[in-house]
Amino acid sequence: MAKSCEIIAVGTELLLGEITNTDGAYIARALAKIGIHAFYQTTVGDNPARLAEVLERAASRADIIITTGGLGPTYDDLTKETIAKVFGKKLVRDAESLEHIRVFFEKRHRTMTPNNEKQADMPEGATIFRNLWGTAPACAFESGKNTVVMLPGPPDECYPMTDTYVIPYLMRYSDGVLTSRYIRVYGLGESAVENILRDKMIHAENPTLAPYAKSGSVLLRITAKTPDRESGMALCEPMVQEVLEILGDNAYEESAGGIAEFVSNLCRKKGKTMAFAESCTGGLVSKLITDLPGSSDVYLGGVCSYANSVKSGVLGIDPSLIEEKGAVSSEVAVKMAEGVRALIGADIGLGITGIAGPGGGSEEKPVGLVYVSVADEKHTVTKKFEFGNLRRSRERIRGDAAGSALDMIRKILMEEE
């Protein structure tokens, strides 16, 4: 029988909204891959009484309890002490952990203060996980029907310790692994996709099919539960191909890297290079590509042509065209794409211009209006998008525009196949 889990994030700063609890999402995804379900996620402040209450409730309804945060050296880091009290465990100082903390400070030429020593205190009989990314060690222990895991809160410590120690430790409770494959859909809203695939979503059991609305697109997740990842990938394959055939060129299978990684890999495969001229996105499309290692293989450079003087002076667009049609127009987008392609000498040029808001819109050209043009040696394709409504932020409009622009490049590259 599959084990259930509750993830408890500890820290008053989480309740105040000063930081976001990304640990819970990361751990839940990691658990799902080995067939352990996170039924509950709880956030509690640095208050021993309230933490004890949360722990007692978790112990009654979950097999596995994973906590993050509260393992630091300060007076309000009381997670270990509270957990030990709730589960009747004595805290004992672990000599190896203490030495690791001492060496950590020594290598960084920093003074280790006495309060750091308490980070080496562990519940008696616990399995200790060395922290190679910080000072506070993690640990796990069994108590009755419960397995309790304690992790540090900083994501750059929590994430690698989850992957390196916690998941292998909990594999003993796994009755199979979950393998997911993803299909990204542009040009169709979530309701349209759901309507097309409704029967499949309702009747699919193993693998399952579920939609998720993302910025400017829809993500479909196909998930199978099998003894191992290889058989899971194979079990998903027929549904992946069927969904791709139904949705046509609006959809493609992608890795966790998203549209930027997909386009980069496609360019690399075909030996193509890209250059971007961006106005309303302010270099965001370039950033999405250059965030990827090895992007210099396919991305030559770009022009952030925010001002009309840059559109004309650098990209060579006739000022009279900008005056007549406006900077936000299909005609200017075309000239941006063709201009940057010629200027930089790339195989593919992208031009993107629009109104990201919140101001600057009009009845004729409202906030969220974006024109995207993609030019290659054969032709230039231009598309009009309207991303704006009362709930759309500037950031959201720019993100939607960037994703849609990359999808246009994807379609042009895939047409060649």
Question: Looking at residue 28, what is its pLDDT?
Answer: 95
* Per-residue model confidence (pLDDT) at position 175: 82
The closest alpha carbon to 262, from 374, 417, 415, 411, belongs to 411
Contact 133, 161 (CB under 8 A): yes
Residue 283: predicted pLDDT = 97
pLDDT for res 156: 94
What is the spatial distance between Cα 218 and Cα 193, in angstroms, rounded to a whole number?
8
Cα separation, 303 vs 96, whole angstroms: 54
List per-residue pLDDT tens for the chain, 417 residues long.
668 999 999 999 999 999 999 999 999 999 988 889 899 999 999 999 999 999 999 999 999 999 999 887 776 668 999 999 999 999 999 899 889 888 888 888 888 888 888 889 999 999 999 999 988 899 999 999 999 999 999 999 999 999 999 999 999 998 888 899 999 999 888 889 999 999 999 999 999 999 987 767 899 999 998 988 899 999 999 999 999 999 999 999 987 568 999 999 999 999 999 999 999 999 999 999 999 999 999 999 999 999 999 999 999 999 999 999 999 999 999 999 999 999 999 999 999 999 998 888 888 999 999 999 999 999 999 999 998 765 678 999 999 999 999 999 999 998 876
Largest CA distance in the chain: 80
Angle, vertex CA 151, rays to CA 71 and CA 176, nearest 5: 165
Structural domains of the chain ordered from first start: 4-173 (3.40.980.10), 177-254 (3.30.70.600), 258-415 (3.90.950.20)
The two structure tokens encoding residue 192: 């349209």
Whole-angstrom distance, CA of residue 388 vs CA of residue 216:
11
- Predicted pLDDT at 73: 77
Residues 66 and 34 sit within 8 Å (Cβ to Cβ) = no
CB 368 within 8 A of CB 392: yes
Query: Per DSSP, which regions of 157-312 are E strands?
Result: 177-185, 208-214, 217-226, 251-254, 274-278, 299-304
Q: What is the pLDDT of residue 141?
A: 97
pLDDT at 152: 94
Whether residue 4 contacts residue 39, with contact meaning beta carbons closer than 8 Å, is answered with yes
